[in-house]
Amino acid sequence: MLNRIFGLETEFGLLIHEDRPDHSPTWFSQKIRDHLFQVQRRGVLDLHHRGHDEPPGNGGFLTNGGRIYLDMGHLEYASPECHSLTDVVASDRAGDCLLQQAIEELGVSDHVSLIKNNIDHETDATFGSHENYLVSRRFPFSRRGLTPLVTFLVTRQIFTGAGRVGAASPQDAWIQVDRLIVPRTAVGPQGGSRLPFQISQRSDYIVNDFFEWVQHNRAIVNTRDEPLADPNEYRRIHLLLGDSNMAEYATALKLGTTGLVLQLIEEGHAPQDLEIEKPVEALQDISQDQERNWVIQLLSQRTMSAIDIQEQFLDCALRHCKGQDEETDWVLAQWASVLSDLRGDYQKLVGRVDWASKLWLLECFREAERVDWSDPLLKSLDLEYHNLNRAKGLYYGLVEEGRVPRMTTDGLIRIAMDEAPKNTRAYGRSALVRHLLGGGAPTDAVQRTNPEGLFPAYVINWSIFQVRGRAPFPMLDPFRTYLDDVRTHLEPIIG
C-alpha cells in the first residue's frame, strides 16, 4: 500500500476445559510464553522494566520482528511493522500459529484452548484487537479532521465485525462532554437488552468518540500520541474499536480500506457532510440491528444506511486511488464486491466476513437441533469459531470445506513465524534478536537480574535499542530496514 506501515496487536482469551482446574489461565499463559522464549528460543526476553506491570521477563521481541508478552495476565501478540497487506495478514496468522504450536508442544491442547475473539461470555470481559497505521505528522489530527474517519469506522463493521451471541452489560465509564468529564450514565439511558446476535464484538464496549486512555474509556479513535517513530515526521493512528478477525480476507479488507480512507483524509479527498450525530450510539445501533438495515442519523438530520455511506467512501477512493498499486486495486475491487453482496443474502459472505460465517453456522445448528437463541450451547459455539486449534475451531472447519478464500499460504505463514518483513525496520530488529540469541542471550530474565545500577545486557524497544557497552541505536524511520547499520553497529561486540 502507498506510504503505509501496518501493525496489529491481538489479545487472546484462554479457555480451560475443566470444571475445577488446578491452574489459572495466567499460569498457562506464562507456561506458553516461557516455552516460546526458553525452549523454542523464538526470541529474547526483556531484561528491563517496561512499566510497573511489565517486569523483566514479562515478554520479548521475536525473530520475526514482532513481540509476545503478557498483558494483565493474558497473552498478547504484536505483529512486526508491515508495508503490505500480504505481510500483515501473514504476520498476524504467524502469531496465531506460534501460540498454538506452543500449546501442542507443551501437551496441553486437550486441556486449554486459545480463543482469538474479543469477549468472555461468563465475565463480560473484553479482549482487544488494536490496529496501527503510520501517517504523516501533517495528518489533520483534530476533531474536524478526523470526522470522516469516525464515520468510516462506525460503518465499516458491516464487513469487519466478528459477530457475537447476545450483548454486553451496560458499560460503566466516564466520557467528555464539552469541557467536563462525566459518568456516561449521566447523559443517556443505559438499559441493556437481550439480543440473539449482533455483527460486532467490540461495539458494546466503545463509550467515547475520542479519548486518550484505553482501559474502561475505549474510544472510536484513540488520541494517544505515541508514534514509535520520528515524532517530527510521523504519527501513529492507534485504533481499538475493531474485532479480531479469523478470516484472512476480512483482516486484509479491514486494514486496506482503512489505509485508503486515511490516504483520502491526508490528501483532502475524503467525502464531506457525512458526520454522524451520535457516533457511539450509531456504532452500537448498527451492530445490534437485527434486520440489518443499518440506518443511522447524520448531524444534518439526514438518515443513511451504513452501506450507502461506505459506497461514498469507495467512490472517492476509486476516483483518487485507483491504479496507484496492485494492492490498492485489489482492495477497491473487493470493497465494491462485499458492499454489493451485503445488499443481498448474507450467506454470500460466508468465508469472507466473520459475522456472516458465524451466523450461518449458528443458524444451521439451530435448525438441526431445533433450539432458540437462549440455548447456552450457542455461546459455546460462538467461542469455538475462534479456537486456534485447527482440529476444533469452527472457522478452520470452513477452511477445510473450501469455503474460505486465502490471502496467504501455509508456507508463507511458516516463514512469517520466523522471519521479519524485508522492507521495514522489523528486518533490522530481527537481525539484532538473532545476534543476541547467537551470543547466548539469557533465557530467563528473572534469574539473570542484573545487580542494582548495572545496565542490562540489552534493551529493545520498537524505535530504539541499546546493547551494553555501545551507544543507543535509534530506528526512527519504519520504512528503513537498518539491516546493514545494525550489523555494523554490532560488529565490535562480536569482533
* Amino acid making up residue 33: R
User: What range does the domain containing 416 cover?
Assistant: 1-116+410-495
The band of 455, judged by pLDDT with boundaries at 50, 70 and 90, is confident
Phi-psi region of 333 (alpha: psi -120 to 50; beta: other; left: phi over 0): alpha
108 assigned to some structural domain: yes
147 assigned to some structural domain: no
Average pLDDT over residues 309-325: 98
The answer on pLDDT for 194 being more than 80 is no
420 assigned to some structural domain: yes
The answer on pLDDT for 78 being more than 70 is yes
**What percentage of the chain carries pLDDT values higher than 70?**
91
pLDDT at 488: 96
Please give the model's pTM, rounded to 2 decimal places: 0.92
The band of 184, judged by pLDDT with boundaries at 50, 70 and 90, is very low
Q: Which residue has the higher pLDDT, 280 or 451?
A: 280
Backbone angles phi, psi at 488, to 5 degrees: -65, -40
Which residues in 245-325 belong to E strands, given as ranges? 295-297, 303-305
Q: Which residues form the catalytic set?
A: 71
86 assigned to some structural domain: yes
Give how many domains the chain has, as a whole number. Answer: 1
304 assigned to some structural domain: no
Rounded to whole angstroms, how far apart are CA atoms 476 and 463?
6
The answer on pLDDT for 408 being more than 60 is yes
Phi-psi region of 273 (alpha: psi -120 to 50; beta: other; left: phi over 0): left
The model's pLDDT over 247-275, given as tens digits with 9 standing for 90+, comes to: 999 999 999 999 999 999 999 999 999 99
Judge whether 193 and 167 are in contact, CB under 8 Å: yes
Backbone angles phi, psi at 282, to 5 degrees: -65, -40
pLDDT at 52: 79
pLDDT at 95: 98
Judge whether 133 and 262 are in contact, CB under 8 Å: yes
pLDDT at 491: 87
Judge whether 235 and 223 are in contact, CB under 8 Å: no
488 assigned to some structural domain: yes
Q: Which residue has the higher pLDDT, 26 or 442?
A: 26
The answer on pLDDT for 178 being more than 50 is no
137 assigned to some structural domain: no
Which residues in 21-111 belong to E strands, given as ranges? 43-45, 59-62, 67-71, 74-78
Please give the radius of gyration of the chain, using alpha carbons only, rounded to the nearest integer.
Answer: 22
423 assigned to some structural domain: yes
At a CB cut-off of 8 Å and minimum separation 6, what does 31 contact?
106, 108
pLDDT at 192: 41
